[in-house]
């Protein structure tokens, strides 16, 4: 069931999205929390219209949101966030003169109302 959405600012040019998607999915699916690897649906979104803080330029970000059905332990959530962060830390471009922030957020999805099926 997990959904992984990675956004990044477009000044991180040449982001290796395909490689990152493959490595993120391998890392997350290796967690005991993911029972079926096919459940993980990941995507990248490039933000061309962004602004970090009050400085005019010289800053960028990559932010990942992992949405899981509710009920995971705090330890499991921290482990999953660490798996995502490890890949993004390694693969995110670091252009000269740009301060790049990395963040990973775990979101609980409401389990009783969740619909999931294969068409």
- Pick one of 13, 31, 33, 39: the residue that binds a second copy (CB under 8 A): 39
Based on C-alpha coordinates, what's the Rg of the chain? 15
Number of other CB atoms surrounding residue 117 within 10 Å: 4
Q: How far is the CB of 29 from a second copy (least distance, A)?
A: 5
Q: How far is the CB of 51 from a second copy (least distance, A)?
A: 4
- DSSP code for 34: -
Instruction: Assess 102 for contact with a second copy (CB under 8 A).
Output: yes
Cα 41 versus chain centre, distance: 11
How far apart, in whole angstroms, are the C-alpha atoms of residue 29 and residue 54? Answer: 38
Instruction: Assess 71 for contact with a second copy (CB under 8 A).
Output: no
Q: Please report where in the chains the tokens 């068409």 appear, as a residue.
A: 119
Residues that bind a second copy (CB under 8 A): 1, 3, 7, 9, 17-18, 21-22, 24-26, 29, 36-47, 49-55, 59, 61, 63, 67, 74, 77-78, 80-82, 84-85, 89, 92, 94, 99-110, 112-119
């Amino acid at each position: 069931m997990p959904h992984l959405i990675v956004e990044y600012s477009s000044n991180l040019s040449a982001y290796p999205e395909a490689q990152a998607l493959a490595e993120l999915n391998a890392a997350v699916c290796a967690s005991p929390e993911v029972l079926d690897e096919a459940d993980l649906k990941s995507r990248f979104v490039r933000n061309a219209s962004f602004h970090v803080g009050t400085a005019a330029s010289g800053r960028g970000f990559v932010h990942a949101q992992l949405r899981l059905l509710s009920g995971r332990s705090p330890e499991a959530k921290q482990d999953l966030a660490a798996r995502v962060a490890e890949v993004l830390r390694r693969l995110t471009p670091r252009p000269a003169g740009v301060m790049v922030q990395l963040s990973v957020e775990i979101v609980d999805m409401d389990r009783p109302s969740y619909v999931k099926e294969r068409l």
